[in-house]
């Protein structure tokens, strides 16, 4: 690129820095939910995800053992025990006996509680509570402590959302919607595009004009009439109005103008000689299409497939109108939207679910980026 | 789980298989009814001619049927519904349109849409252009572009969760787990519930769309920048132009057509923005937009199809001129190559 030769070192350093800044700005949001989805759910609310690699500190309350646990030793009564359950990796940094001063004493310090009573809480949670008089009462004394836990990463969140929050089922539903809603329009559009490009029949030019005209119709125009139509068909035949077939056809309808537009311009550009020599050899249109046109059109078919796949997988509007909200039909995007309402503050559920919904598009995107970019400029006319 | 997977595979096979069966079967049938082989010469020619008349319609038939049912009929019906009451039975003339322009929520939506239109396409195009120019100059530019492009693959709902987490608010004094509030409190400010501040919350929602769409602008503009002839830039360098002059006076004018396509494409997207508003605020705190308002009226109180259809028509009226211009321009751009 021009200009680079005449640039100063500072200028070039600035370019690197600026790009780094933009890259950070664009990746940090996604990184946030990826890191959070792998964190322990108590840690997510205790500290920001960017501190995931450092220990997090929380102040908590606990109870000492009761009078029943006391033993007499050297004329003093002692209650000993551990604030933590066995196997915990947390460490106590400070403790206290009043909620106003929960961290008054350092861990390991012997606190003088007055009347000769002493309390010592160690880092590992073990404590000794001693008094010259015998302890009484059924409830143990309340203590406060500040515990730091080491960074903890877990796949538990994924197990939870996939198997008990219904995300796993929604994942299957999304695949059930997306695969046919990608393949069907390709098939239908490819045949139509071939006919419009290479077969002669009356009204061809008019049809092409109508299809390009339909590109400008926003999706919103179709929703209400189709909802009415589906409800009508459902009542008339006594079948459910929200079905997978219904949404496949809807996505097919919304994707078709763009698919035909894209495929036709590509197929029309294929060399005429190949078609004609095949025809002379006695091949029918069907054979020419299947054996010659389809293989040659692979790049454009792939571009459209990726485009449509991402569009359908990421779609919320069409799914909310044409599919039910029961477990057997709700797709990932709609499920995630529902979770935002019902599990608003449970970030371990939300971040993990969000990551599950974006993982498939990300894989598709990274493995097939070449075709995606190619389809993008042509695809720009479709929009959302 | 196994039965779920089985039934999912089964419906997929039925759906796709049915489609394949139609094309294959219809062609087979045509060959059987009008055989071109194994009959006398004259009959074969006749049959070939008949096949030639029918076959295009076999190929194009399903597409036409679906386009009529899913796009042409709905456009007419939506127009018809917009002149009728909520159930679609009684003709009420322009009452729905009168209602719309008198409705506070509708006017608020229009206002917000205008705000989105003013900010998002400009921001995406501008940022996309800057990043495209910068990444073209460094060795790791491709990786940088991939990463900035990545949000384009993420759904609006997924992106909304990602950004809701960034805007997350905890009461004053508590640890802020949302990165924005953490930064603000770290700098000594007070934490805010960002998405519920009227007017300004629009911008917090726009950031999400800008984050998604900048990659699109960047990729398209980057390929346009590569198409600029080296000589024009070299000549400018020899004439002593500085990098800013080269950018504004040499590069930008040459890719003006592409910039326009990117700008209008994002404009159309903005007019239809729905998911982000639904998931972030559902139109609360004065953040409503047209597409979400329409969805709302489709189901509000059992659904008011008249008003919903009216809003759909208004969206279409806004979209069509930009779309027509966009397709013309895109054709001109790709036609030139």
Distance of alpha carbon A325 from alpha carbon A322, whole angstroms: 10
Answer yes or no: do B160 and B291 share one domain.
Answer: yes
| pLDDT computed for residue B121 by the predictor | 94
For residue B43, the enclosing domain spans: 2-81
Phi first, then psi: what are they for A186, rounded to 5°? -65, -50
A158-379: which CATH topology? MetI-like fold (1.10.3720)
**B308 contacts on A by Cβ (under 8 Å):** 223-224
When pLDDT is averaged across residues B191-201 and rounded to a whole number, the result is 88
Contact of B285 with B71, CB cutoff 8 Å: no
**Token digits for B175?**
């640890």
Measured between CB atoms, does A331 come within 8 Å of chain B? no
* CATH code 1.10.3720.10 region(s) in chain A: 158-379
Chain A closest CA to B176's CA: distance in Å? Answer: 7
**Residue environment code for A60-90, b if the CB has 16+ CB neighbours within 10 A, otherwise e:** eebebbbeeebeeeeebbbbbbebbeeeeeb
3-class secondary-structure state, position A111: strand
Answer yes or no: do B252 and B288 share one domain.
Answer: yes
Answer yes or no: do B22 and B138 share one domain.
Answer: no
CB pair distance less than 8 Å for A180 and B12 = yes
**B327 contacts on A by Cβ (under 8 Å):** 212, 215-216, 381
For an interface test with B, give the residue of A190, A231, A384 to mutate (most B CBs within 10 A).
A384
Chain B closest CA to A67's CA: distance in Å? Answer: 36
- Of B172 and A343, the one with more pLDDT: A343
Q: Express as a percent the part of chain A with pLDDT over 70.
A: 95
| pLDDT computed for residue B336 by the predictor | 41
Answer yes or no: do B141 and B274 share one domain.
Answer: yes
Question: Which DSSP symbol is given to B38?
Answer: S
H/E stretch holding A129 reads strand A126-131
Contact of B183 with B252, CB cutoff 8 Å: no
Contact of B116 with B288, CB cutoff 8 Å: no
Identify whether B88 is part of a domain. Answer: no
Answer yes or no: do B115 and B8 share one domain.
Answer: no
Identify whether B90 is part of a domain. Answer: no
Distance of alpha carbon B279 from alpha carbon B296, whole angstroms: 13
**Token digits for A21?**
């800044």
* CATH code 2.60.40 region(s) in chain A: 56-149
Distance of alpha carbon B186 from alpha carbon B181, whole angstroms: 8
Answer yes or no: do B306 and B206 share one domain.
Answer: yes
Phi first, then psi: what are they for A101, rounded to 5°? -130, 70
Residue B143's contacts (CB-CB under 8 Å, 6 or more residues apart) are none
**Token digits for B8?**
């999912």
> Burial, A7: exposed, middle or buried (Cβ in 10 Å; 0-12, 13-18, 19+)?
middle
CB pair distance less than 8 Å for B219 and A376 = yes
**Token digits for A13?**
């350093």
A56-149 maps to which CATH number?
2.60.40
**B64 contacts on A by Cβ (under 8 Å):** 192, 207
Is the pLDDT at B105 greater than 50? The verdict is yes
CB pair distance less than 8 Å for A218 and B67 = no
Q: What is the mean pLDDT of chain B?
A: 87
Measured between CB atoms, does A194 come within 8 Å of chain B? yes
pLDDT tens, residue order, chain A (384 aa): 444 444 567 778 889 999 999 999 999 999 998 998 888 887 888 788 888 777 777 778 888 888 888 888 877 888 888 888 777 777 888 888 887 888 888 888 888 888 888 888 888 888 888 888 888 877 888 888 888 877 778 888 898 888 888 899 999 999 989 998 999 999 999 999 999 998 888 888 899 889 888 888 888 889 989 998 999 998 998 888 888 889 999 999 999 998 998 899 888 888 888 888 988 888 888 888 888 899 998 888 988 898 899 899 999 999 999 998 888 889 999 999 999 888 878 888 899 999 999 999 989 888 887 777 776 655 544 443
**A157 contacts on B by Cβ (under 8 Å):** none
Answer yes or no: do B122 and B56 share one domain.
Answer: no
Torsion sign across C-alpha atoms A295, A296, A299, A303: negative
Q: Express as a percent the part of chain B with pLDDT over 70.
A: 97
3-class secondary-structure state, position A135: coil
CB pairs under 8 A between A and B: 345
Distance of alpha carbon A229 from alpha carbon B74, whole angstroms: 9
Residue appearing with tokens 């400018």: B236
Measured between CB atoms, does A307 come within 8 Å of chain B? no
**A23 contacts on B by Cβ (under 8 Å):** 144, 147-148
Answer yes or no: do B180 and B305 share one domain.
Answer: yes
Measured between CB atoms, does A224 come within 8 Å of chain B? yes
Chain B closest CA to A342's CA: distance in Å? Answer: 12
Please provide the DSSP assignment of B131-153 as one string. HHHHHTTSTTHHHHHHHHHGGGG
**B273 contacts on A by Cβ (under 8 Å):** 384
Answer yes or no: do B178 and B281 share one domain.
Answer: yes
Highest mean pLDDT among A227-241, A264-278, B117-131, B236-250: B117-131
Q: Where are the alpha helices (DSSP H) in chain B?
A: 2-33, 41-67, 73-81, 95-102, 104-135, 141-149, 156-166, 179-186, 200-226, 230-238, 243-245, 252-254, 256-271, 275-280, 290-299, 305-335
Give the total number of structural domains in chain B.
2
**Token digits for B98?**
């009168």
Identify whether B87 is part of a domain. Answer: no
List pLDDT tens digits, range B285-333: 888 999 999 988 888 767 788 898 999 999 888 888 888 888 887 777 6
Distance of alpha carbon B301 from alpha carbon A135, whole angstroms: 65
| pLDDT computed for residue A383 by the predictor | 40
How far apart, in Å, are the Cα atoms of B172 and each of A45, A64, A290, B181?
A: 15, 31, 66, 10
Phi first, then psi: what are they for B285, rounded to 5°? 50, 45
3-class secondary-structure state, position A119: strand
Chain A closest CA to B261's CA: distance in Å? Answer: 8
Distance of alpha carbon A310 from alpha carbon A332, whole angstroms: 13
| Closest to A27 in 3D by CA, of B317, B100, B17, B179 | B179
CB pair distance less than 8 Å for B298 and A227 = yes
CB pair distance less than 8 Å for B55 and A199 = yes
Across the interface, of B59, B63, B70, the residue whose CB is closest to A254 is B70
Confidence class of residue B23 from pLDDT cuts 50, 70 and 90? confident
For an interface test with A, give the residue of B31, B35, B56, B160 to mutate (most A CBs within 10 A).
B56
**B291 contacts on A by Cβ (under 8 Å):** 220, 317
Distance of alpha carbon A162 from alpha carbon B125, whole angstroms: 38
Residue B56's contacts (CB-CB under 8 Å, 6 or more residues apart) are A195, A199, A200, A201, A204
Could you tell me the CATH number of the domain that includes residue B197? 1.10.3720.10
């Amino acid at each position: 690129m021009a200009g680079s030769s005449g640039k100063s070192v500072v200028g070039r350093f600035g370019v690197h820095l600026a790009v780094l800044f933009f890259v950070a700005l664009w990746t940090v949001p996604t990184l946030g939910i990826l890191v959070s989805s792998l964190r322990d759910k108590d840690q997510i609310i205790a500290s920001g995800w960017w501190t995931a690699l450092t220990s997090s500190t929380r102040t908590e309350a606990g109870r000492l053992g009761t009078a029943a646990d006391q033993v007499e030793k050297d004329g003093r009564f002692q209650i000993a025990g551990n604030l933590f359950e066995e196997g915990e990796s947390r460490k106590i940094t400070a403790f206290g006996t009043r909620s106003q001063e929960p961290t008054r004493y350092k861990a390991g310090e012997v606190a003088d509680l007055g009347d000769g009573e002493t309390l010592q809480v160690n880092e590992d949670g073990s404590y000794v509570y001693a008094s010259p008089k015998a302890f009484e009462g059924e409830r143990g004394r309340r203590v406060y402590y500040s515990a730091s836990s080491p960074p903890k990463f877990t796949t538990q969140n994924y197990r939870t959302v996939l198997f008990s929050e219904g995300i796993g089922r929604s994942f299957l539903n999304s695949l059930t919607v997306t695969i046919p809603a990608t393949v069907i329009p390709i098939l239908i559009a490819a045949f139509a595009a071939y006919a419009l490009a290479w077969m002669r029949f009356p009204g061809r030019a008019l049809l092409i004009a109508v299809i390009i005209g339909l590109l400008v119709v926003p999706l919103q125009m179709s929703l209400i009439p189709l909802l009415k139509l589906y409800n009508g068909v459902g009542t008339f035949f006594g079948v459910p109005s929200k079905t997978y077939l219904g949404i496949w056809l809807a996505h097919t309808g919304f994707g078709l103008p763009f698919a035909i537009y894209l495929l036709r311009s590509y197929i029309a550009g294929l060399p005429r000689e190949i078609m004609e020599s095949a025809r002379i050899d006695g091949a029918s249109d069907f054979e020419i299409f299947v054996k010659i046109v389809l293989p040659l059109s692979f790049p454009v078919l792939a571009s459209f497939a990726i485009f449509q796949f991402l569009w359908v997988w990421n779609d919320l509007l069409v799914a909310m109108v044409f599919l039910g909200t029961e477990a057997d039909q709700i797709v990932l995007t709609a499920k995630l939207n529902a979770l935002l309402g019902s599990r608003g503050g449970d970030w371990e559920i939300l971040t993990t679910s969000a990551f599950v919904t974006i993982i498939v598009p990300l894989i598709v995107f990274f493995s097939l980026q070449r075709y995606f970019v190619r389809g993008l400029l042509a695809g720009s006319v479709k929009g959302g | 789980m196994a039965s779920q997977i089985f039934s999912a595979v089964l419906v997929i096979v039925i759906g796709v298989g049915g489609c394949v069966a139609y094309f294959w079967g219809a062609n087979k049938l045509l060959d059987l009814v009008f055989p071109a082989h194994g009959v006398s010469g004259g009959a074969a020619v006749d049959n070939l001619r008949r096949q030639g008349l029918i076959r295009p319609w076999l190929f194009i038939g399903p597409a036409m049927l679906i386009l009529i049912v899913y796009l042409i009929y709905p456009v007419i019906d939506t127009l018809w519904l917009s002149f009728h009451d909520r159930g679609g039975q009684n003709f009420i003339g322009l009452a729905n349109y009168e209602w719309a322009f008198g409705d506070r929520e509708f006017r608020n939506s229009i206002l917000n849409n205008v705000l989105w239109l003013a900010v998002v396409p400009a921001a995406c195009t501008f940022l996309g252009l800057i990043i495209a120019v910068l990444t073209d100059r460094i060795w790791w530019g491709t990786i940088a572009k991939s990463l900035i492009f990545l949000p384009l693959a993420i759904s609006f709902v997924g992106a909304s969760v990602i950004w809701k987490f960034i805007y997350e608010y905890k009461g004053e004094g508590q640890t802020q787990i949302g990165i924005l509030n953490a930064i603000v409190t770290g700098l000594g400010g007070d934490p805010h519930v960002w998405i519920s501040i009227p007017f300004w919350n629009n911008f917090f929602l726009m950031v999400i769309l800008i984050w998604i769409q900048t990659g699109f602008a960047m990729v398209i503009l980057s390929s346009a920048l590569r198409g600029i002839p080296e000589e024009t830039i070299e000549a400018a360098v020899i004439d002593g132009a500085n990098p800013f002059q080269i950018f504004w006076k040499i590069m930008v004018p040459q890719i003006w057509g592409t910039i326009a396509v990117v700008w209008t494409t994002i404009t159309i997207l903005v007019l239809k923005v729905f998911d982000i508003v639904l998931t972030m605020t559902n139109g609360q705190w004065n953040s409503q937009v047209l597409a979400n308002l329409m969805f709302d009226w489709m189901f509000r109180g059992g659904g008011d199809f008249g008003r919903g259809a009216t809003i759909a028509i208004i969206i279409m009226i806004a979209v069509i001129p930009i779309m027509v211009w966009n397709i013309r321009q895109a054709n001109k751009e790709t036609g030139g190559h």
